[in-house]
Amino acid sequence: MSEVIRVLLVEDDEDDYFLTADYMSQCDEPRFHITWVTNGKAAIDAFQKRTFDICLLDYILGAENALDVMATFKAAGITVPVVILTGQTDSQVDDMVMRAGAADYLNKSEIESPRFMRTMRYAMVRREMENERIERHKVEQQNKAKDKFLAHLGHELRTPLTSILGYTELLLDDKANADMSQELSIIHTNGKHLLSLLNDLLDMSRIMANKLELARREVNLNGFLTDVHSLMNLAAKDKGLTMEVSSRNDIPDFISADPTRLRQILINLISNAVKFTDTGTIQVTVETLPPRREDNKEMLLFRVIDSGIGMPPNKLDDIFRPFEQIEDVMRANHGGAGLGLAICRELVNTMGGEISVESVFGRGSTFSFTIDPGDISNQHFDMFKLTAPTVDEQNKNKLHVTGRVLIVDDLRELRKLTGHMVSQCHATVSYAENGVKALEAVLQAEQSGKPYHLVLMDIHMPVMNGIDALKAMRKHQCNVAVVAITAASRKGLRQSLLDEGFDDVLGKPIEKTELFAILDRYLISTPGISGHSVEEEPNYQKAMQSISYSGTKDAFNESAPDGEAASTPPTPQQEQASATKEEVTDPSLKQVLLVEDDHDAAELMKLLLSHLGHNVDVAYCAKDALDKVKHRPYDAALLDLTLPDDDGISLARNIRTVSDAMEIYIVSGREPDNTELEELNISGTLLKPVSRSDLAALF
């Protein structure tokens, strides 16, 4: 059956209508269905009642012309292609109607010529292109609306979860509630489960929006699998199951992979296996596949095998789709949003592999997936040995380095933790709490002839951030290796930091394997050396003579009174003792402004911060918060992103006009834009729900 094109003919001359309709009715391909009206108003009415593919519009319609009618079309939102018909050729008229948006311009004498049919087909092609553009725009708007909805949903759910989990933790810690600990633990466990479902939903959204970036690095496969076994073996034992990890052939010692995401895949599959298995064994196997014919590439194959409830064959194609679960599984009350396997599939695809499942209903399932391990042609291969020490233990036992390391982070707890890990490798450790003090320390060390060999530098710090500190060091010809430490994970961040001049990048939370690899790369290995040397704290007064940075002197004066001798650099244990002493002698560590519009969440965070020894003022909107900042000095402010009268970023910008030195933290249910955070020198972010340990790590 030939195509039928629906045409609206707007023509006030009946003779011209009959001539046009007669010619078009004789066409076999395409066929035309014509609706005739005599003026612009009737044309609008026709468009409102029916759907047309094209409009043929006479240029002169009594008192109105085609330009007037096209203006009314545009005002009414009509996007059908319009071809103008006229009794005489006029290039000026032709130009005017084309500028007004007409698809083409034809003389009525050309209706029976081949040009008429070409014009009609061309107009139809334009119509199809316009429809595609409109549909594409609709999809883009729907995706934007979905992303906005998920961000809003995350915020709205995390805020009440903060209250649920936070108050439950407080009650669990109170010995007076010991007789209710079981009930409180159930509340806490289910709250954490709800949080994991929310995280799955947001994780899936990031993956589908292509906002997830893999952080590939060298991974010790034997140690990695041993760690996975250690993580999941207890969950299996709790159900009376046995968990086995083995290799079916020799596997490489090291692979190139994102260990966090690979661990996420395995833990998800193993968790499902444990969840749906009541008796028997959970087996995890890995093997090296022969090179593929098409590219001679060797792949790794992982399998997770259980003896659980299995799945019917007709359901296997659906389980990797988002929000899909087997109905029998749902009735078994195992819970879940049906996103875990969909996330696994997308992560595996991102790693260059494929995932599949084989299952026998009532007997168990086998999930298999492959990944691209990078170039393993020169690796040593051996069978997996579960009894082998983990990567952390290997590095801890074997890595002995000599060198001076400066750790720069504004958070005392993180300085202490990083320093403890570095000291395990027997390097000498010093500390600085911001970029200014780091610059002073590095310059003084250079002048004293005891330069640092490595600087581990946080990016987001008050006074001077890590990037500015690095630029200042390079300006003063300090060529010490500087490694950036960042908690951000936006796409392209690592390369951006390397382009800024950093020698390497470490992610937060810092993993020992990554840190030890950095120490091994930039320090001198000295097997057999134990302990670390004692060095003097940098003499900042001497270094001041060569530093032009305006804020340095003030920062120094805060750290050491004039005339006092420099002290021996504190070890992590000494820093812990110092912190403990400080908390005893001065319980009110910080004057904190908390800005949160949810009264329950505000009350909880105020209670948690008060328990940590801080003085807390609460503002429930941006206006009150700004008024408080103008009339009272605060050490720190915790801002929610979503407020009734403004947003947290705008409020932070206004606070910065009043106080440059105040530490500002974003506490919200959605992730803020990293660019805005850097511009406003935001000290850190916390994603709701917020625990007491999260708040303790801030100050």
- Over residues 288-304, mean pLDDT: 90
Element (H, E) at 6: strand 4-10
Look-up of token digits 């909880």: 604
pLDDT at 393 over 50: no
Spatial CA neighbour of 355 closest among 373, 341, 336: 341
Write the pLDDT tens digit of every residue in 451-477.
Answer: 999 999 988 887 888 999 999 999 998
Tokens for 593? 């402004």
Tokens for 530? 């134990």
Which residues are CB-neighbours of 75 under 8 A, at least 6 positions away?
none
- Over residues 359-375, mean pLDDT: 93
**CB 643, CB 613: distance < 8 Å:** no
Per-residue pLDDT band for 323 (boundaries 50, 70, 90) equals: low
Look-up of token digits 């085609």: 66
Element (H, E) at 391: helix 391-398
Bridge pairing between strands 454-458 and 404-408 = parallel
- Over residues 194-223, mean pLDDT: 76
pLDDT at 608 over 90: no
Spatial CA neighbour of 689 closest among 672, 667, 674: 667
What does each C-alpha distance from 469 to 182, 308, 459, 466 come to in angstroms? Answer: 50, 56, 9, 5
Residue 294 has what pLDDT?
80
Residue 570 has what pLDDT?
42
pLDDT at 585 over 70: no
d(CA 605, CA 642): 16
Q: Which of 18-22, 511-515, 579-583 has the highest mean pLDDT?
A: 18-22
Q: In 3-state terms, what secondary structure has residue 432?
A: strand
d(CA 281, CA 273): 9
Residue 582 has what pLDDT?
36
Assign domain 4-112 to a CATH class.
alpha beta
Per-residue pLDDT band for 396 (boundaries 50, 70, 90) equals: very low
- Higher-confidence position of 238 and 474: 474
Exposure of 420 by Cβ count < 10 A (0-12 exposed, 13-18 middle, 19+ buried)?
A: middle
Min mean pLDDT across 103-107, 213-217, 485-489, 585-589 is at: 585-589
Per-residue pLDDT band for 356 (boundaries 50, 70, 90) equals: very high
pLDDT at 93 over 90: no
Written as one letter, the residue type at 555 is: A
Phi-psi region of 379 (alpha: psi -120 to 50; beta: other; left: phi over 0): beta
pLDDT at 546 over 80: no
- Higher-confidence position of 533 and 413: 413
- The full set of domain ranges for the chain reads 4-112, 142-184+586-699, 217-384, 392-581
Min mean pLDDT across 138-147, 514-523, 627-636 is at: 138-147
pLDDT at 565 over 80: no
**Domain 392-581: which topology?**
Rossmann fold (3.40.50)
d(CA 456, CA 469): 12
Min mean pLDDT across 118-122, 319-323, 535-539, 617-621 is at: 535-539
Look-up of token digits 């935001």: 682
pLDDT at 411 over 80: no
Min mean pLDDT across 75-84, 356-365, 656-665, 672-681 is at: 672-681
Intrachain domains 142-184+586-699 and 217-384 with the same fold: no
Kindly tell me the sign of the dihedral angle through the C-alpha atoms of 536, 539, 543, 548. positive
Written as one letter, the residue type at 462 is: P
- Higher-confidence position of 78 and 508: 78
Residue 327 has what pLDDT?
44
d(CA 374, CA 61): 72
**Domain 217-384: which topology?**
Heat Shock Protein 90 (3.30.565)
Residue 509 has what pLDDT?
56
Spatial CA neighbour of 337 closest among 197, 166, 479, 466: 197
Residue 351 has what pLDDT?
92
Min mean pLDDT across 118-122, 148-152, 289-293 is at: 148-152
C-alpha angle 478/483/488, rounded to 5°? 135
What does each C-alpha distance from 661 to 130, 341, 595 come to in angstroms? Answer: 54, 46, 18
pLDDT at 394 over 50: no
- Higher-confidence position of 208 and 56: 56
d(CA 220, CA 582): 41
- Over residues 325-342, mean pLDDT: 52
pLDDT at 79 over 50: yes
Which residues are CB-neighbours of 260 under 8 A, at least 6 positions away?
215
Residue 357 has what pLDDT?
93
pLDDT at 246 over 60: yes
Min mean pLDDT across 78-82, 569-573, 619-623, 624-628 is at: 569-573
Residue 128 has what pLDDT?
79
Q: What is the DSSP string of 421-463?
A: HHHTTT-EEEEESSHHHHHHHHHHHHHTT---SEEEEESS-SS
Residue 155 has what pLDDT?
61
Per-residue pLDDT band for 392 (boundaries 50, 70, 90) equals: very low
Residue 152: count of CB within 10 angstroms of its CB: 13
pLDDT at 561 over 60: no
Q: In 3-state terms, what secondary structure has residue 485?
A: strand
C-alpha angle 384/387/391, rounded to 5°? 80
Q: What is the DSSP string of 607-633?
A: HHHHHTT-EEEEESSHHHHHHHHHHS-
**CB 382, CB 219: distance < 8 Å:** no
Peptide bond into 290 cis (omega under 30): no
Per-residue pLDDT band for 482 (boundaries 50, 70, 90) equals: very high
pLDDT at 489 over 60: no
Residue 44 has what pLDDT?
92
d(CA 268, CA 263): 8
- Higher-confidence position of 296 and 322: 296
Min mean pLDDT across 168-182, 319-333, 426-440 is at: 319-333
Per-residue pLDDT band for 152 (boundaries 50, 70, 90) equals: low
What does each C-alpha distance from 434 to 133, 214, 568 come to in angstroms? Answer: 51, 29, 19
DSSP one-letter code for 270: H
**CB 456, CB 485: distance < 8 Å:** yes
Angle between helical axes of 91-99 and 66-75 (0-180°, round to 10): 10
Q: What is the mean pLDDT of the chain?
A: 79
Residue 442 has what pLDDT?
93
Per-residue pLDDT band for 629 (boundaries 50, 70, 90) equals: very high
Written as one letter, the residue type at 390 is: T
Residue 441 has what pLDDT?
92
Residue 27 has what pLDDT?
79
Q: Which of 215-219, 310-314, 501-505 has the highest mean pLDDT?
A: 501-505
Tokens for 664? 């500002």
Residue 568 has what pLDDT?
36
**CB 154, CB 203: distance < 8 Å:** no
Q: What percentage of residues in the chain have a pLDDT greater than 70?
A: 81
- Over residues 193-211, mean pLDDT: 71
Assign domain 142-184+586-699 to a CATH class.
alpha beta
pLDDT at 555 over 60: no
pLDDT at 551 over 60: no
> What pTM was estimated for this model as a whole?
0.43
Q: Helix, strand, coil: what percent of the chain each, to 5? A: 45, 20, 35
d(CA 305, CA 502): 44
Kindly tell me the sign of the dihedral angle through the C-alpha atoms of 564, 569, 571, 575. positive
Residue 273 has what pLDDT?
92
Residue 322 has what pLDDT?
65
